[in-house]
Structure 1
Amino acid sequence: MIDVLSKYFSTFFKHTYFYKDDLYLKLQKVFDNEPQELLSKVDQNSFNFRLLDLLTTLLFPLKRKIQLLTNNHNGSNEWNIVFAHQKVALTNSEKLKLMAVDKNTAFLSSNDSVYQDTLIDISRFKPQKILIFQIFEQYYYLLIIRKMNSETNRVLTLIQIIIKEFHNRLNDYREKVILKSKVTSLKHDIYENQTALRQSERLLKKRAYEIHNLMEISNELYSILNLDQLINSALLTLVGQLSCQRTFALIYNQKEREYSHYYSKGFKSDILKNISMEVDHPIVKYFLKRPVPQLVQNMLKSSAMRKTARQIKNLDIEIIAPLMHHGSLRGFIGCGSKLNEGSFDDADIQIFSILVNIISISISNAQMYEDVKEMSFTDAMTGLNNYRYFENRLIEEINRSMRNKTVVSLLMLDIDDFKNYNDELGHQAGDEALRTVGWILKNTVRDGDIVSRYGGEEFAIIMPGLEKDLVEILAERIRSKIEEFPFYKQHVQPKGNLTISLGGSTFPNDASNFETLINKADQALYYSKKSGRNCFSNFNEEMAGV
């Protein structure tokens, strides 16, 4: 925090009367606490005391020009006039406080209605402007500026910077707490799944030989974390354990918000190919109320389900069950008639029920694994793929290229003079620039191209099937879009705008393996940097020694 403000202090003390070491020491005391320590009322009161001490030191020499008023959030409209040791009642106090809540700091001038109303109460100060801000939920500060000049402007600017940086620091911590809470929630869900799995295993151990087989099946299914593989394995298990002619599963599609992921064994491929169910389908409502396996023959007895049950019966489905977990309906699974033309008895239904429970938990586990896996492959800053995903995917594409005797091209790109942009505008502006570049890349590349954040301000694009002589076309399109985009205050850059340099290489033209392909693209990128930046270079052997 102190490091962030030091650059403002150096300018501030060139034009002020303050004793630098004393003021700097008080600033250090203000930000002595870690953000998590400020969650208690005791530490908040201590922080407020130190902040008031700092503000008093800053404003005391200017007390004829700036008055400092404070108020605790206790429903009172009385404000303490710090330098006069008096109190004043502001009839418009609540509106002032609301403005402080909406913004970290709020300047009000003579054009603001709230200012006009407040002016009645503070007219004796003859104010030109007022500044209101809030610390935590209970502390409010009001600065009444009687005379605006360069001296008061410098002090007010410094105060605003201090308050803004404080809020940024606290908000960053709160975001970390939220993220930690999400991770904890994920761990809790995994723990609950593991608990449910153990309960299922304890039930299986009580059964005879057939139940022993079910336990082995459950261990196998629990170990499968690929959803497609898991469901196909589960359907084959149902065929084997229940001696049925066919099975199916219909899984909820999160993107389409309907039940449309269809799997089957024994059905003709076109019979259920286009089946889908909306979330308000009668069968969805039916199983949400009765989350247990049902014989289709029994469902025919329900007048509300008779039409749907007939349609299911006509597809030669004899028994159907919901895939439930933690009250959520993940999909449906069912079996057709038995191989011996017999009907499902109580023992079959009991085995089916146990298997459905195991499959439900396994599906939930696999889906959670996919969610965690996706998080581990995503760059939190830009939302792009991270380096780990890039590395795995590039190796995969090179192997595919070798098998199919095709090409795969690689683009490496780097934001020019990004350190300057960060230093001039701060890391928040730099982070936003990285996110914007990532967004432009995703919306410029071809379908099937893989965009990743390689690290820092460097990005990588894997382009399967793109010939070497065509790489330049895509690279130039990307370069020009970045150059033309109106980045925030990009005039601070040496060339007046934010640009990128690019380098490309192609497998197998330039490289025979993963490491060499990256190295050649990196050499081409370096060549672009040496050539003046804001350009693209496609690797050739002349660049090898540059």
Structure 2
Amino acid sequence: MGFVMGNMLKTLWKVPVVKHAIKNKILQQSHTVFNKMVKDYLEGAPNIDKAKNFVALLRELVYPFKNDIHVLWNSNGNANAWRDLTESLNYVIKNSVRLKMMIDRQLVLKLKPINKFIVPPEGLAIDEAFAFKLGQNDYFLFTHHSNDDFIRQIFKNFYYQFYVMAIALNAGLEKKRLTDQIQRLKNQLLESTEKISEVEKNLKKRMHEIDQIFQVSNELFTIHDREGLINTALLTLVGQLGCDRAFILLKNKDGETFSDFYSKGFGSEQNVYKLENSDALARYFESGGEILYTDEMKFKGEAADLIPFFKETGARMVAPVMANKKLIGIMACGEKLFGGDYDLIDKRIFKVLSNTINLAFTNLQVYEQVASESFVDKNTGLANKKYFEQRVQEEKSLMLRQNSTLGLLVMRFKNADEIFNHLEEHQINRLDRIVIQRISPVVRTEDFLALIESGKYALLMPGITDETIHIAMNRFKEKMASLTLPDEFHLKEIEFEFEFAIFPDQEEAFEEKVIQLLGKKEEKTENGEDFFTDLDFNV
């Protein structure tokens, strides 16, 4: 196995699932930065330490992407001078005073289009940017200049997380402001001590809930199965908002109705609710409608069409479930568990949670898409059939340029149908792992081993000759002959059947075997050349 991995590592970066894993790692690292910054601000650290600590964390966060993502810092009232945190360069942005005035009015300012807000400084190209303010005098400007979809996705995630962080930070600062106000009231109204103490207790509870939101969002972003994400989202809504019930209503597979109903706190007889695509609530959210709060609604005009939904479900707060800017469902909370109305902070928390859940659903869709395009067999860790299809073309192109040869050795279980007929799926998977572990030491470092299907393997062997390919077959036979299988398989031994061809000496036979392995006809260009002949992915 070690010999195979040596060659595979060179191409792992091109595998989409690796990018996805890195994306989740960046999400976790950025959460650490945000939690540290919020903690510094809410625990009363000196202003100079706040900016200094945050800059260090921010530099560490973006450093891996310094060639594509730049963070500029304007501090201490400097007019137009901005410092690049990763490159230690200084830039001059004209009209910085006007830009900072616009930043002061928003939590996170998205600069779109760029030329509406700034003229990019000389030496720094900018495609997308957003900005925010920290404290009284520190302004930060995130920029990137890249067509790479991975960089754009990372930049987009940074924007959303800074937005969530800004909401939480503002809520924390609001808590400090209210705490100070409470202290003044204590001095003025000694007789109200008991009441003020209760208010302070509730505020501390809210801050704990806000801290929990960060932990919940981190958990949601790492869930890669639909049922698990939905269950965690519902438990989060119930736990964070203290509602007696919550539900998520998703579109079914055919996309015709919202009928996949998931809930906490509803009886089984209520789990049959559904909406049509033409329903007033679906149309409202499809058209970009905001979160609905029943205590703020006036059920008049078109809003009167929403009455049946709220009466039947008992919903008090309703938000859309979005993934990649498309409506895929609806989430809602019922009444508070111990009575009373949802206050302003409850509503803010619900908005933050709904945004986080929507990002998690988008993340899940991306993960599912990447998983479907994966080049690695999850069971054995070998390259799969799809990767083999790409790699065989790459190797052919390389061998032609090097005026060398490429051997194809196909190994399959003899009497595979008889072997698999009496085995369960988990046993077949284990059998593949045992065989791969057995034959991997025979595979050369430069060779490429792929799993076509259970019991069938393809080995690409650069620079091979007819004599050496027979030597390789004998080594595989010897390895398998000495293999003792566990009793659960009820097999004494496994025999291999071999087929081989060498390219370009046996080009026709080589191509026929590739077509048989892939189970489809080979695509050709007009002049008969293979589509990948002139491409070299090993550079």
Normalising TM by the smaller chain, what interval? 0.3 to 0.5
| TM-score (norm. length: structure 1) | 0.38
**TM-score between the two structures when normalised by the length of structure 2:** 0.38
Q: Is the radius of gyration larger for structure 1 or structure 2?
A: 1
